[in-house]
């Protein structure tokens, strides 16, 4: 049948199969993020259509045909359809594997393609997700930076999260039972361990024993059998334990928050009692999972980023059963097919990187003699990151405090300025830096200057090659104004430094320094594998230099 239709992505044919399980991920057609993606669907038969379920909510131009289930259908057409077109679509297709389904009469044919990361390795991407999620649950999910498009609207996000919560509660007892059974009957490999023991005490001997045997010695090198639990299936299932534990803790916090909110509502006692019962069940599960993860068996098992499911996990009823439950909790809407390959419900990678750099900025300051207040440092994993989120840091050594601000527009007029908004600009399209560090003298609340950090999901050497980025960085450095500093000396620029933070690159490929003043601009590589120590040293030295310049050299506010 597949000879009667053809599907092309960027001119390359997609291979189809009647069975989705026969799809070969090793030969998958792969494209980089932000790469234009042109689809052509040709067929010589009627009553045939194509769908890409994971792109159902994606704003694809020229597709407005919906069936009675509100699913997007694409029909044969010689005119290309752009799944992504960089010039006209701000929202990129997220990294992951996408399944294409061709429907003909009552038959389905399955193909696939993959969107790969542009400027990060998969390992760094996963570590970045973990860093963000470990800081505050939910920061890595839902909306896109532009605000014009959300992969899942707020109501749908709520439904997905609510469904996941209900699934966890439903499977709570089964998860605990399977986890305990796995701990009692873990998979293992028998290995030999050799020890010198007194002759006559040995239970077993082998070739190595005979090789080291000596009539002159009272000792013999004898083997003993030991069970090794640190093997791939146990490493895989420990990751499952950890994920279930994290979901359970998140769900417990959600339920406690809901219970607190409905406490004063009328006729809420029955609902509150049900929520308390669920909290009690989940608390028991958390206790059981924590003890198993840190117990005598799995406490010695390493955790790894397992890309493929070990065959022995699939063949073991307990291991496979627990993994399937985790899949169903993570994908509650896919009740009939928990193995749907697409599972990346994250923000686009550029936004993730921006959030991650903000978190790393906070941690760098926290490790450099600044005491934080508010937000992630209050140990509340339900904190949310909004535009304009502000975290204050007090210096432990100087009369200085910092306001670290995330993704906030600079004000347009002087009357809008205050201690949390010390800068104004008349530029309307370059007025929202990713991260801003405002520096103040603590005893008098005098503003001393700012450092701007711009997180760029691109390679380091490309920053100065893009005219748009070039103009943006210069605008951040030159356009913001602070009236108080202007009154003292119009030559003082409030922006002490602009740091462009790149996700990857090679130090050997240099930035075009002729276009940037080295005293004002810095270019750094920062990702989960490299650059944090240099980044921490750079921003703290810039803060110290600005404080020294304003107070000690210029004797302003001294």
**Quick one: pLDDT at residue 75?**
86
**Quick one: pLDDT at residue 286?**
93
**Quick one: pLDDT at residue 331?**
73
pLDDT value at 343 more than 50 = no
pLDDT tens by residue, 180-213: 999 988 888 766 667 777 666 655 565 565 666 6
CB-CB contact of 41 with 7 (8 Å):
yes
Instruction: Report the alpha-carbon distance of residue 243 to residue 245 in Å, rounded.
Output: 5
**Residue closest to 229 by CA, chosen among 197, 184, 275:** 184
Q: How many CB atoms lie within 10 A of CB 537?
A: 12
**Residue closest to 456 by CA, chosen among 521, 404, 411, 405:** 521
Q: Which carries the bigger pLDDT value, residue 555 or residue 326?
A: 326
Q: Which carries the bigger pLDDT value, residue 64 or residue 491?
A: 491
> 269: buried, middle or exposed (CB in 10 Å: 19+, 13-18, 0-12)?
exposed
pLDDT value at 70 more than 60 = no
Query: Residue 547 — very low, low, confident or very high, per pLDDT cuts 50/70/90?
Result: very high
**Quick one: pLDDT at residue 182?**
92
Q: Which carries the bigger pLDDT value, residue 372 or residue 95?
A: 372
Query: What does the H/E/C string look like for 395-450?
Result: ECCCCEEEEEEECCCCECCHHHCECCECCECCCCCCCCCCEEEEEEECCCCEEEEE
pLDDT value at 115 more than 80 = yes
Instruction: Report the alpha-carbon distance of residue 282 to residue 312 in Å, rounded.
Output: 29
pLDDT value at 20 more than 70 = yes
pLDDT value at 51 more than 50 = yes
Give the mean model confidence (pLDDT) for residues 69-95.
76
pLDDT value at 491 more than 90 = no
Q: How many CB atoms lie within 10 A of CB 155?
A: 8
Query: Residue 408 — very low, low, confident or very high, per pLDDT cuts 50/70/90?
Result: very high
pLDDT value at 68 more than 70 = no
**Quick one: pLDDT at residue 99?**
87
Instruction: Report the alpha-carbon distance of residue 408 to residue 74 in Å, rounded.
Output: 40
Query: What does the H/E/C string look like for 310-372?
Result: CHHHHHCHHHHHHHHHHHHHHCCCCCCCCCCCCCCCECCHHHHHHHHHHHHHHHHHHCCCEEE
pLDDT tens by residue, 122-173: 788 878 877 776 676 445 543 333 322 222 233 334 444 566 778 888 888 8
**Quick one: pLDDT at residue 347?**
57
Token output for 550: 């304003």
**Quick one: pLDDT at residue 395?**
93
Going by C-beta distance under 8 Å and a sequence separation of 6 or more, which residues neighbour residue 442?
A: 394, 395, 399, 400, 401
**Quick one: pLDDT at residue 154?**
31
Helices (H) and strands (E) in the chain, counts: 11, 17
pLDDT value at 60 more than 50 = yes
CB-CB contact of 381 with 250 (8 Å):
yes
Tell me which of 186-190, 434-438, 500-504 is least confident: 186-190
CA angle 335, 341, 344 (to 5 degrees): 95
Give the mean model confidence (pLDDT) for residues 412-433.
88
Give the mean model confidence (pLDDT) for residues 12-36.
86
Query: Residue 348 — very low, low, confident or very high, per pLDDT cuts 50/70/90?
Result: confident
Instruction: Report the alpha-carbon distance of residue 227 to residue 190 in Å, rounded.
Output: 5
**Quick one: pLDDT at residue 344?**
32
**Residue closest to 383 by CA, chosen among 141, 143, 137:** 137
**Quick one: pLDDT at residue 189?**
76
Give the mean model confidence (pLDDT) for residues 219-232.
76
**Residue closest to 382 by CA, chosen among 249, 274, 487, 244:** 249
Per-residue buried b or exposed e for 218-246, using 16+ beta carbons within 10 Å of the residue's own CB: eebbbbeeeeebebbbbbbbbbbbeebbb
pLDDT value at 275 more than 90 = no
Phi, psi of 526, rounded to the nearest 5 degrees: -145, 120
Going by C-beta distance under 8 Å and a sequence separation of 6 or more, which residues neighbour residue 267?
A: none
**Quick one: pLDDT at residue 260?**
79
* 492 beta partners: none
Q: Which carries the bigger pLDDT value, residue 515 or residue 116?
A: 116
**Quick one: pLDDT at residue 88?**
75
pLDDT value at 175 more than 80 = yes
Instruction: Report the alpha-carbon distance of residue 234 to residue 297 in Å, rounded.
Output: 10
Give the mean model confidence (pLDDT) for residues 255-267.
70
Give the mean model confidence (pLDDT) for residues 441-466.
88
In sequence order, which ranges of 198-264 are alpha helices (DSSP H)?
Answer: 207-211, 232-262
**Residue closest to 253 by CA, chosen among 129, 375, 165:** 165
């Amino acid at each position: 049948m597949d000879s009667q239709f053809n599907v092309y992505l960027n001119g390359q044919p997609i291979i189809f199969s009647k069975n989705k399980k026969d799809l070969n991920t090793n030969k998958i057609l792969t494209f980089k993020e932000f790469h234009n993606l042109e689809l052509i669907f040709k067929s010589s038969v009627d009553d045939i259509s194509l769908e890409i379920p994971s792109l159902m909510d994606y704003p694809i131009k020229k597709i407005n045909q919906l069936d009675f289930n509100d699913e997007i259908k694409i029909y044969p057409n010689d005119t290309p359809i752009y799944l992504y077109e960089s010039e006209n679509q701000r929202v990129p297709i997220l990294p992951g594997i996408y399944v294409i389904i061709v429907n003909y009469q009552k038959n389905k044919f399955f193909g696939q393609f993959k969107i790969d990361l542009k400027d990060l390795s998969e390992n760094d991407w996963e570590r970045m997700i973990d860093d963000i999620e470990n800081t505050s649950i939910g920061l890595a999910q839902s909306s896109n930076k532009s605000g014009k498009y959300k992969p899942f609207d707020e109501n749908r996000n709520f439904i997905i999260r609510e469904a996941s919560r209900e699934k966890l509660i439903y499977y709570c007892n089964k998860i605990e039972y399977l986890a305990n059974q796995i701990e009692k009957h873990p998979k293992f490999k028998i290995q030999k361990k050799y020890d010198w023991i007194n002759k006559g005490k040995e239970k077993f001997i082998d070739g190595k024993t005979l090789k080291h045997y000596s009539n002159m010695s009272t000792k013999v090198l004898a083997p003993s059998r030991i069970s090794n639990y640190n093997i791939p299936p146990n490493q895989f299932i420990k990751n499952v334990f950890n994920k279930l534990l994290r979901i359970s803790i998140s769900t417990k916090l959600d339920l406690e928050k809901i219970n607190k909110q409905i406490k004063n509502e009328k006729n809420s006692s029955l609902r509150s009692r049900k929520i308390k019962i669920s909290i009690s069940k989940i608390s028991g599960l958390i206790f059981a999972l924590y003890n198993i993860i840190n117990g005598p068996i799995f406490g010695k098992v390493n955790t790894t980023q397992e890309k493929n499911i070990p065959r022995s996990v699939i063949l073991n009823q307990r291991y496979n059963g627990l993994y399937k439950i985790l899949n169903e909790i993570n994908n509650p809407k896919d009740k009939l097919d928990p193995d749907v390959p697409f599972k990346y419900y994250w923000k686009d990678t550029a936004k993730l990187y921006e959030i991650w750099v903000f978190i790393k900025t906070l941690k760098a300051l926290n490790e450099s003699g600044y005491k934080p207040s508010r937000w992630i440092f209050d140990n509340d994993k339900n904190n949310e990151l909004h535009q304009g989120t502000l975290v204050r840091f007090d210096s432990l050594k100087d009369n200085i405090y910092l306001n670290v601000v995330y993704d906030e527009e600079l004000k347009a007029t002087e009357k809008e300025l205050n201690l949390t908004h010390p800068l104004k600009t008349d530029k309307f399209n370059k007025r929202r830096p990713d991260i801003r560090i405002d520096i103040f003298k603590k005893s008098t609340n005098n503003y001393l200057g700012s450092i701007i950090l711009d997180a760029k999901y691109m390679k380091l050497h490309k920053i100065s090659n893009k005219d748009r980025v070039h103009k943006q960085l210069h605008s951040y450095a030159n356009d913001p104004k602070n009236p108080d500093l202007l009154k003292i000396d119009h030559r003082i620029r409030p922006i002490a430094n602009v740091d462009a933070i790149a996700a990857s690159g090679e130090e050997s490929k240099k930035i075009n320094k002729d276009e940037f003043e080295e005293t004002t601009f810095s270019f750094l590589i920062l990702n989960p594998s490299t650059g944090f120590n240099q980044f921490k040293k750079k921003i703290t030295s810039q803060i110290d230099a600005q404080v020294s310049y304003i107070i000690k050299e210029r004797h302003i506010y001294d």
